[in-house]
Structure 1
Amino acid sequence: MTFGSLSENDGDEPLVEINMIPLIDIMLVLLVIFIITAPLLTHSVKIDLPRASSAPTLTKPDNVQVAIDSAGQVYWNGDAVTVDALTSKLQTAATLTPQPELHLRAERTTPYEKVAAVMSTSARAGLTRIGFVTEPSNTN
């Protein structure tokens, strides 16, 4: 809103202020329209849908326990195996469907080189799911 002033120089300049009253009126009208129509938009249609009872057939893959002791001896599900036997067992396990999970256990004093060798052998054989099994520590 502009107010007149007592100065003589202000009469010939155009008004540069925007009249906000019509914009506020339009906004309030739109707000009332949205308040009235919003509850109408939540109307839902009740439909009786058919019910199906089916359980997914999940085939849980087996797991293979591979353990390495501190001397570097490798055990396949509790049985001692050589490196060649381990490679052939890993290759046959990789061809199974679903592919079994490889649970790798190693003693605390086992050199990392032995663990890395078993991991690379299993990766080359085609096993993709390799997990480490550890003992939880008692932190009391």
Structure 2
Amino acid sequence: MREFVAEIVSIGRLRHRNIVQLLGYCRRKGELLLVYDYMSNGSLDKLLFEGTKKDELGWSQRFHIVRGVASGLLYLHEGWEQLVIHRDVKSSNVLLDGDLNGRLGDFGLARLYDHGTDPLTTHVVGTLGYIAPEFSMTGKGIHALT
């Protein structure tokens, strides 16, 4: 639990316009509750898969969202004091603010590493369908971060 809280405190210090801001946390009856920015347009997957015709996103809006998430990932990988590997990037973890800016959230599977170290993990994590097929089948993938 101590290590988990330390990681939450670290992730709570992330500051980027395309990362959902962790505002706080508390532990109540053995359950850890996290408090994030309110995202008025919900998650990208809800808009893509459950939205109505009027909610459809045009290509320029989609590009704007993807570009924002990519900017957030660049910050996590290169712009912060530690390397943050999210490990679960998918449409349900992309949240949309009032202006449809894409913000990456849900850092439950994230890991922190010091820059210059090899960010290897001992097992496959993430959501099937969102990780490289060769990685999910063999546990080995192309090491794209070095």
**Larger RCO (CA within 8 A; separation ≥ 6):** 2
User: TM-score, normalized by length of structure 1?
Assistant: 0.21
Q: So what's the TM-score if we normalise by structure 2?
A: 0.21
Q: Kindly name which structure, 1 or 2, has the bigger radius of gyration based on alpha carbons.
A: 1
